[in-house]
Amino acid sequence: MSIKTVFISLLALAGAVSVPQTDFDVIVVGGGPAGLSALSGVARVRRNALLFDNQQYRNAPTREMHDVIGNDGTPPATFRGLAREQISKYDTVHWKNETVASIVPLDGDFSVFNVTDATGASYTARKIVLGTGLRDLIPPTPGMREAFGKGIFWCPWCDGYEHRDQPFGIVADVANVLGAVLEVHTLNSDIIAFTNGTRTPDGEARAAAKYPDWDKQLEAWNVTIDNRIIQSFERLQDGGAHRDNDEDKQYDKFRVHFTEGEPVERNAFLVDYPTDQTSTLPYQMGLEMDGSKIKVASSMRTNETGVFAIGDANSDGSTNVPHAMFSGKRAAVYIHVEMSREESKSKISKREGMISQRELEEEANKAIGDNLEREWKRAQDLQ
Ligand SMILES: Cc1cc2nc3c(=O)[nH]c(=O)nc-3n(C[C@H](O)[C@H](O)[C@H](O)COP(=O)(O)OP(=O)(O)OC[C@H]3O[C@@H](n4cnc5c(N)ncnc54)[C@H](O)[C@@H]3O)c2cc1C
Ligand SMILES: *[C@@H]1O[C@H](CO)[C@@H](O)[C@H](O)[C@H]1NC(C)=O
Ligand SMILES: *[C@@H]1O[C@H](CO)[C@@H](O)[C@H](O)[C@H]1NC(C)=O
Ligand SMILES: *[C@@H]1O[C@H](CO)[C@@H](O)[C@H](O)[C@H]1NC(C)=O
Ligand SMILES: *[C@@H]1O[C@H](CO)[C@@H](O)[C@H](O)[C@H]1NC(C)=O
Ligand SMILES: *[C@@H]1O[C@H](CO)[C@@H](O)[C@H](O)[C@H]1NC(C)=O
């Protein structure tokens, strides 16, 4: 769209715009820390909002949540429960424990959507927040999924401290081992890297491309590599029961079996596997993606006007509870202000000529994105 087209269409609109009449101002999809935080933000300014939650939380398997100040060691379900209880006091919030099946934009002067849930019920809203999360693609290796979040973990900040100074394993492609070691060497010194057959000439070349002296560094950190093919993880002890709460230590214990040779015992493992969107909605809605993440601007806006993405699901490259809360809060502020601008515009829309150049600029920015800022400056330079 050229800058001229945008202005002509906006000037035409400026005559009489109206805010769509909808069931809700905002529909939030996701009841994790991201969605709850967005809901809180819009509730505090009395926006009518509905939150959908089909209860597939990424951190569901973990025993306790960590590195969330004020809530270090709180079980995630307790944390979410307290959030729901506190947000429920705002009488503009509504809840549904249902799966959202589709979100379809409708025509209007401003963004408006039709949201249909798995029961077939549908609701309209002016803004959409996707806090739909990521899921971990853990391989079907026997014993692994059951232990994920309980002695086998992906995030040193989440679970590492409780397994400090214990015999430790890293399960990763050989090229990613050093990166993992550099995250955990302050927690564990007896480390074996299980590279599951990836230490080939090609694997070593990929490792060297990242860190030319990767093998010397591993040696310096006392890390040995076991390249046998992993067959299963046998749990020998459950750190949920064998724990020292005063010392913040959990004593899980596993025996790793291979397709050949003797098994190896370790207390805990850091693993490295890819993730994908928990929900198919971002793909269904045709949102711009960045790999498997929903592409967002710093405002948490996606490339579909009126749709915001927050938490693990978005492209910020930060997947933890503090980020989920930050991004939900940030989206709530942008959403409220965006809706207020629409309401304000609609109030004066009959008085033609009252739309200022500044407002038009803002509106055009929204319509075609940040690129316009450059275009606008160029246009002003030409004047
Ligand atoms: C084992 C493990 C331990 C972790 N420990 C920690 C930790 O200690 N500290 C920390 O900061 N981070 C931790 N994390 C990361 C943390 O879980 C995520 O960063 C956080 O959950 C992201 O919040 P979110 O709201 O974006 O997504 P989630 O918490 O995953 O919530 C997604 C929500 O979207 C809902 N949803 C998805 N699709 C639909 C749909 N179509 N309709 C309705 N609802 C839908 C889900 O049901 C869910 O309510 C851990 C992760 C794992 C895997
Ligand atoms: C929805 O799920 C939450 C969390 O499990 C629960 O506390 C709440 O009671 C449920 N609401 C309904 C209406 O079932
Ligand atoms: C929303 O979609 C449902 C079907 O999913 C349809 O029955 C309903 O009429 C639609 N509502 C609007 C306002 O378009
Ligand atoms: C080990 O490698 C095989 C073959 O690539 C793969 O199928 C399996 O999931 C891997 N196991 C683990 C635990 O990563
Ligand atoms: C170094 O690693 C070996 C084998 O993994 C282990 O036995 C030893 O305890 C480790 N040394 C230190 C200082 O942790
Ligand atoms: C968003 O980006 C995707 C992928 O680039 C594209 O297919 C889609 O049309 C865009 N949507 C809008 C509303 O521009």
Question: Hey, what are 344's tokens?
Answer: 């304000």
27 CA from centroid of ligand 1 (Å)? 18
Q: Quick one: average pLDDT of 250-270?
A: 98
Q: Quick one: average pLDDT of 192-210?
A: 98
pLDDT at 358: 61
DSSP 210-264: H-TTHHHHHHHTTEEEE-SPEEEEEEEE-TTTSEETTTTEE--EEEEEESSS--E
pLDDT at 4: 42
Distance CA 219, CA 137 (A): 30
- Pocket flag, ligand 3, residue 106 (CB < 6 Å): yes
Distance CA 351, CA 355 (A): 9
Point out the ligand nearest to the CA of residue 203: 4
Q: Quick one: average pLDDT of 43-52?
A: 98
Of 34, 25, 33, the C-alpha closest to 93 is: 25
User: Where is pLDDT greater, at 17 or 201?
Assistant: 201
Percent above pLDDT 90 for the chain = 86
Domain 3-135+275-382 matches domain 144-271 at the CATH topology level = yes
Please classify residue 8 by burial: count the beta carbons closer than 10 Å to its beta carbon, then call 0-12 exposed, 13-18 middle and 19+ buried: exposed
Nearest protein CA to atom 13 of ligand 3, as residue: 114
Arch. (CATH architecture) of 144-271: 3-Layer(bba) Sandwich (3.50)
Vertex 366: Cα angle to 11 and 14 (nearest 5): 20
Distance CA 311, CA 306 (A): 17
Q: Quick one: average pLDDT of 351-358?
A: 53
What residues pair up with 67 in beta bridges, in sequence order? none
Q: Are 138 and 148 in contact (CB under 8 A)?
A: yes
Point out the ligand nearest to the CA of residue 222: 5
Which of the residue ranges 143-157, 178-192, 200-214, 345-359 would you say has the lowest mean pLDDT?
345-359
pLDDT at 2: 46
Q: What is the pLDDT of residues 99-114, one digit of tens each?
A: 999 999 999 999 999 9
pLDDT at 350: 61
Q: Quick one: average pLDDT of 16-31?
A: 95
pLDDT at 8: 41
Q: Quick one: average pLDDT of 202-229?
A: 98
Pocket test for ligand 6, best of 130, 303, 305 (most atoms within 8 A of CB): 303
Q: Quick one: average pLDDT of 232-242?
A: 98
Of 2, 5, 6, the C-alpha closest to 366 is: 6
76 CA from centroid of ligand 1 (Å)? 9
DSSP 169-192: EEES-GGGHHHHHHHHTTT-SSEE
Q: Are 171 and 272 in contact (CB under 8 A)?
A: yes
Ligand 4 atom showing the smallest separation from residue 197 Cα: 2
How do 268-271 and 275-277 pair as beta strands? unpaired
pLDDT at 379: 46
How far lies 230's CA from each of 78, 149, 259, 272, 329, in Å?
Answer: 36, 19, 6, 14, 43
Q: What is the pLDDT of residues 284-321, one digit of tens each?
A: 999 999 999 999 999 999 999 999 999 999 999 999 99
Q: Quick one: average pLDDT of 324-344?
A: 98
Give the CATH number of domain 3-135+275-382; options: 3.30.300.30, 3.10.270.10, 3.50.50.60, 3.30.43.10.
3.50.50.60
Vertex 361: Cα angle to 360 and 363 (nearest 5): 65
Residues contacting ligand 5 via CB (< 6 Å): 189-190, 192, 222, 224
Q: What is the average pLDDT value for the chain, to the nearest integer?
A: 92
Query: Taking the model in full, what pTM does it have?
Result: 0.90
Torsion of CA 352, 354, 359, 364, to 10 degrees: 20
Nearest protein CA to atom 42 of ligand 1, as residue: 99
3-state secondary structure of 317: coil
Q: Quick one: average pLDDT of 342-360?
A: 70
Say yes or no to pLDDT of 369 above 60.
no
Residues contacting ligand 1 via CB (< 6 Å): 29-35, 52-59, 61-62, 65-68, 99-100, 131-133, 136, 149, 153, 155, 158, 278-279, 281, 311-313, 319-322, 324
What residues pair up with 171 in beta bridges, in sequence order? 194, 271
Say yes or no to pLDDT of 382 above 50.
no
Pocket test for ligand 3, best of 100, 122, 124 (most atoms within 8 A of CB): 122
* Res. 323 pLDDT band, cuts 50 70 90: very high
Q: Locate the domains of the chain by residue range.
A: 3-135+275-382, 144-271
